Structure 1
Amino acid sequence: MSSRAAEFSNMKKRGEKFVVLTAYDAPTARLEVEAGVDIVMVGDSVGTNVLGYASEREVTLDDMAHHIAAVRRGAASVYIIGDLPYATYETEAQALESAARLARAGADCVKFEGARPQIVAALKREGYDVCCHIGLESQHQQGKRRQGRTAEAAAALLADALALDAAGMDFIVLELIPRELAAEITKRLRAPTIGIGAGAACDAQVLVVHDLAALGTRDFKHNRRYVELGAALRDAVAAYARDVREGRFPAEENGFSMESAELAAFEKTIA
């Protein structure tokens, strides 16, 4: 475990919560760090929230590297978790190659979906910080449905989490699983848990910034809208459009004029 990942492990031991939030560009990352976010996650959610893709499966390594680099430029010292896209970690060799690409772009830690302890072990051997992700797996499951609702399914997810922990992961995202299951996983694991729709017992919480700020068209039960930024932006653009069409923008204060002597010289030149 890197010294930076160990900081969060120590917070778990002390019972201190930490804050994770997605960002995909430099100004958003800068604002999040100024506001007190501990970890920025550059998720494959960039595909559906920023790039206009139909699903997370369309996101590429080039996409992830591009947005991780942007976030790093906006927040030079923040700890960044970057997603390995769909079908880029099918073998140990492929996972290592993909992780190297994201690390070069600025990721401190790489994340992937599913119970693949052998991939965790391979990445850890080469010195990478690793975040796992179980429960809802957007890359691998059709439809965004709650997971672990039956005793059998919950037991399987707990077993998966324990196996990943034994392999040496540094964090795990628990998405859309019952709060009771998330609490049991959090209690049993050495690695910190990062919850999304998994209750308050997790060591940290993560949301998609576009959901938090109501920039998207959908809301989710696991989300809380802290500001209606989408509506405010739409109103601001509508006001701008009206001002342009009606001649109110730009106004005198929005431009500048030539000095009188230079204007006279210019007019003489073109006469």
Structure 2
Amino acid sequence: MSKTARFFEMKRRGAPIAVLTAYDAPTARAQAEAGVDLILVGDSVGASMLGYESERDVTLADMRHHIAAVRRGAPEAVVIGDLPFGSYDSPGAAVASAQSLIEAGADIVKFEGAHLAIVEALAGASIEVCCHLGLEPQNHLEKRVKGRSATDASKLLADALALDGAGMKLLVLEMIPEEVAAEVTRAVKAPTIGIGAGRNTDGQVLVITDVLGFGPKNFRHNRRYQNVGQIMVDAARAYVRDVHDGDFPAEENLTHMAPEELELFLRVNA
């Protein structure tokens, strides 16, 4: 059964699709409870959670590990898994890598770029595909807005239409002008999910660590809903203070032996 049929229906009705990234079971569980429509296990896990320099450092094993964790946390959720850099250099490699992510728990796989043969190969293997145009973090080392010129915007639209014809089921549009995203969204049948692409896509996606404010850096396209990074620092600092001052553990954190068992223990081991 198609995992993306619901999102086509949401596009038809004009109902916005809410997408967030997740990389672990507790986060996925919270997002499922909150009603997130679609969970993306993105290669953003590399810089966001694993301390890697870039998305290019993320491996297929990394993606499998985090997809499996998300699936355990949200067993009923629809989950997209990113194909990492170097794992889809040919249609055959893409199918093998995608099947590996599906086995780990993904419902849909995502890759970057206008590779029609890869979409066709994945669709031929009954794997639903999310494509990704605009800023491609795996391929564009300079993180800047794409599609600003009429020529670049026309190329992006043509690529989107070609991918749509090849059978993509979703399309992420990253860091492109709002007007371009609106035209792509109008032109393609597949639901579009924007990040830094304005208000007129069929849905929105943000990186959960950006939403929660894990680090000091914020982005124009992001909305920070909590400052969890500072909360973590404050909590760790309070814990360190309590340990150093002898205030933790306290009586409420302890377990005691029954008096008669303690007496016997001490007598036997005297």
Partner residue, 2:198: 199
Give the letter aligned to residue 95 of structure 1. A
Q: Which consecutive segments of 4 or more residues in structure 1 shift more than 2 A?
A: none
Q: Does 1:37 align with 2:9?
A: no
Partner Cα separation in structure 1 for residue 40 and residue 6 of structure 2: 17
Alignment partner, residue 25 of structure 2 = 26
Amino acid at match of 2:55: E
- Stretches of structure 1 that go unaligned for 5 or more consecutive residues are none
Distance between the aligned counterparts of 1:269 and 1:109, measured in 2? 63
Q: How many residues align?
A: 270
1:195 partner SS: strand
Between the aligned partners of 1:133 and 1:110, the Cα distance in structure 2 is: 11
Q: Distance in 2 between matches of 1:53 and 1:20?
A: 23
Q: How does 1:158-237 map to 2 (within 5 A)?
A: 158-237=157-236
Q: Could you say what secondary structure the match of 2:200 adopts?
A: coil
- CA shift, 1:11, in A, is 0.8
**1:253 matched to which residue of 2?**
252
Give me the whole-angstrom Cα distance separating, in 1, the residues matched to 2:227 and 2:62. 28
Normalised by the length of structure 1, the TM-score is 0.99
1:243 maps to 2:269: no
Partner deviation per Cα, 1:14-54 (whole Å, 9 max, x = no partner): 11111100000000000011011011100000000111100
Deviation at 1:117, TM superposition (A): 1.2
> Which amino acid counterpart does residue 210 of structure 1 have in structure 2?
T
Shift of 1:107: 0.2
Take 2:85 and 2:11, find their aligned partners in 1: how far apart are those partners?
A: 30
**Cα distance in 2 for residues equivalent to 1:218 and 1:121:** 39
- Distance of 1:204 and 1:147 partners within structure 2: 19
Instruction: Give the letter for the 2:190 counterpart.
Output: A
Which residue of 2 is the match for residue 264 of structure 1?
Answer: 263
Once residues 166 and 6 of structure 1 are traced to their aligned partners in structure 2, the CA distance between those partners, rounded to angstroms, is 17
Q: Partners in 2 of 1:269 and 1:49 — Cα distance? A: 54
Deviation of the 1:3 alpha carbon: 2.5
String of CA shifts for 1:220-265, please: whole Å, max 9, x gaps. Answer: 0000000111111111110111000001111000111001111011
Counterpart Cα distance in 2 of 1:10 and 1:121: 23
Match of 2:126 in 1: 127
The Cα shift of 1:87 comes to 1.0
Given residue 82 of structure 1, which amino acid in structure 2 is its aligned partner?
A: G
1:4-83 pair list within 5 angstroms: 4-83=3-82
Q: Which amino acid aligns with 1:32?
A: Q
Residue in structure 2 matched with residue 93 of structure 1 by the alignment: 92
Q: CA deviation at 1:100?
A: 0.6
Residue in 2 that maps onto 1:110: 109
| 8 Å contact kept, 1:113–1:132 | yes
CA RMSD of aligned residues (A): 0.7
The unaligned stretches of length 5 or more in structure 2 are none
User: Hey, what's the Cα distance between the residues in 1 that align with 2:187 and 2:264?
Assistant: 80
Check whether the contact 1:172–1:192 (CA below 8 A) recurs between aligned residues.
Answer: yes
Q: Is the 8 A contact 1:49 1:216 kept in 2?
A: no
Give, in angstroms, the shift of residue 216 of structure 1.
2.3
Mapped contact 1:65–1:102 kept (Cα < 8 A): yes
Residues of 1 paired with 2:77 and 2:6: CA distance? 13
> Partners in 1 of 2:224 and 2:254 — Cα distance?
38
Partner Cα distance (2:148, 2:184) in 1: 15
The structural deviation recorded for 1:217 is 3.1
Q: Secondary structure at the match of 1:173?
A: strand
User: Could you tell me how far 1:90 is from its partner in structure 2?
Assistant: 1.0
Post-superposition shift, 1:135?
Answer: 0.4
What TM-score do the two structures reach when normalised by structure 2?
0.99
Amino acid at match of 1:181: V
Letter in 1 for 2:264: A
Q: What percentage of aligned pairs have identical amino acids?
A: 56
Structure 2: how far apart are the matches of 1:135 and 1:206? 14
